Chain A
Amino acid sequence: MKKRFDQLLAGYADGDAISQEARMLRDILRDCGFESDIFVPGDSVAKDALVDCRLLEEYDANAVEGLILHYSTESPVNEAFVASNGRRIVKYHNITPAQFFDGFDDDIAAELRRARSGLGAVVSVADEVWSDSAYNASELSSFAIKKSKVLHLMFRVDEFEGGEDAGIKAQFGDGLTNWLFMGRIAPNKCVEELILAYAYYYHTINSRSRLIVAGSQHSCPRYYAMLRLLAERLGLPNVCFTGFVYGGRATLYECADVFVMASRHEGYCLPLVEAMSFDTPVVTRRAGGMPEAMGDAGVMFDNLKPEELAVLVHRVCSDQDLRGEVMESQRRRLDVIHARDVGREVREALGLV
């Protein structure tokens, strides 16, 4: 009988970076000869996603040889991990600092605070901790960890590919200069800073343009309300909130002249790599784990005023020399990413090589 090596996830969804990594890890574990499944609490997974994962109620804590917990928030899976036997590994994806949500959503803020205070208990029983980035690993330095390793976020570049979405192409492929933001609409993403910068760009530099904000607005409705109000007060009819886009992401990136990210807290930030893989120049804040995702590619900024960010993005869109330099650096970065042997990295981390 095959030995089991399972994974526990707080939630599962298409287009979610952690879910994608769990799927990839499961396939690698199965290739290594383990029986492997992903277990998720029933209220945190869509019914149609249950082909890829199983309900937490079906998880048997005594049957596992090994277990990986993806830690990012408070969840019943954290308790299941503590109660399990076998080799226990935490994959730390970081916890958004609660203060970003204060005022916008007190429940989420409290949940994030509990997740941070519960981290010690989970890490203390773990045999190993793997972090998405050195930035994430640095957050754990205050804990006594038996074995720590940086294993950058895993993803399949072929999952970024997708067919053309005619609706999105018709909506955004009309020749206007498109700024694109992709990600959850949550306060740590600082979308308001993009809107402020875009206000200068639209009113002073180029009114034949739009800012596309692609991401779920359900994460924090009050924050979303603030963004809509801000765009209205700044007289920006061309700030387009598309909601969550999964199938048409490829077309969105292709329509974009520049990908902009002003987030102040990210464990890694997969959309940056996605944008690079669609040959879209990236302008991003140098914060959190994002420099590790970018390597020596794209444009990274910090401490820019909105009007300065507007000019910088304008430069990237219009200065062909600068744009060429940025694109070349991104292609070099993609070569490095494509050359990554994730299967080998995982086998080495598990001591199977």
Chain B
Amino acid sequence: MVGVECDKDRPMSDKEQSSDSMVLMVAGRDRSGDLRRDVCAEEMALVDPALRERMADGGRVLALRESVTENDFIDCQLEVLGVRTQLDLGECELPESSSVVGRVVGAVRGFVWKLLRFAFEWMLFHQNVINEQQAITLAHEVRLRKRENEDLRKRLDALESKLISSLTGES
């Protein structure tokens, strides 16, 4: 839970100043001043290195928005897919609870998790091989089609110029 005490009279930090263009209207009233200060202060409490790392990973996906054509998009998507094809069981977090029932349920979950882990590892091994193979095959297929298109374009250009020169030669 996020929540920091905000001193509403303190001067704004550089970070808050930088979001001067922020607009906040609540029920038709401009709250860009007072509510903004609170929102900025709470937002600064959201510093979590692991989350920053995740967000950076998300940023790589968002590079897809910069694609100008569908071809750019496919290139970028292949790159993003190629970065990670492997599933990782370590990322799976078991939910925790501080209540007595929650702790008991958590312990049971942990036990079942350990018990079944070998089966998950087995499935994971196969799934990761399939993911990797698909990503590689797709990238290869795209490369082949591009090469084929380029060859066809060259042949077409050559035929066009040949046709034009033969037509101008006739006239």
Residues of A within 8 A of B (CB): 102-106, 187, 192, 195-196, 199-200, 203-207, 222, 225-226, 229-230, 233-235, 286, 295-305, 307-308, 310-312, 314-315, 322, 325-326, 328-329
Contact = CB atoms under 8 A, between A and B. Distances in A.
A105 B70 contact: yes
Contacts of B61: 226, 229-230, 233
Residue of B58, B77, B80, B95 most packed against chain A (CB within 10 A): B58
Contacts of B43: 305, 307-308, 310-311
Given A192-B65, A310-B46, A230 B25 contact: no
A237 to B, nearest CB: 10
Contacts of B25: 286, 299-301
B70 A222 contact: yes
Nearest to A190: B65
B152 interface: no
Contact of B26 (A192, A199, A234, A322): A322
B21 A297 contact: no
B64 interface: yes
A311 B54 contact: no
B77 to A, nearest CB: 7
A contact face: mostly helix, strand, loop, or mixed = helix
Contacts of A206: 1
A290 to B, nearest CB: 11
Interface string B36-55: 00111011001010010011
Interface of B: 1-2, 19, 21-28, 35, 38-40, 42-43, 46, 48, 51, 54-55, 57-58, 60-62, 64-70, 72-73, 77, 80, 84, 91, 95
12 contacts: A104-B70, A105-B70, A106-B69, A204-B51, A207-B95, A233-B60, A301-B24, A302-B22, A308-B40, A311-B43, A312-B35, A328-B27
B55 A234 contact: yes
Contacts of B84: 233
B28 A296 contact: yes
B28 A204 contact: no
Given A103-B65, A203-B54, A230-B62, A296 B27 contact: yes
A199 B53 CA distance: 12
A204 B46 contact: yes
A304 B22 contact: yes
A275 to B, nearest CB: 15
Contacts of A200: 46, 51
Contacts of B2: 204-205, 311, 314
A235 B61 CA distance: 13
Contacts of A302: 21-23
A308 B26 CA distance: 15
B54 A103 contact: no
A308 B70 contact: no
Nearest to A207: B95
Contacts of A300: 23-25
Contacts of B54: 199, 203, 233-235
Given A105-B70, A235-B91, 6 more contacts: A199-B55, A229-B61, A311-B39, A311-B46, A326-B26, A329-B28
Residue of A200, A230, A233, A304 most packed against chain B (CB within 10 A): A233
Contacts of B67: 102-104
B62 A203 contact: no
Nearest to B72: A103
Contacts of A225: 77
A199 B58 contact: yes
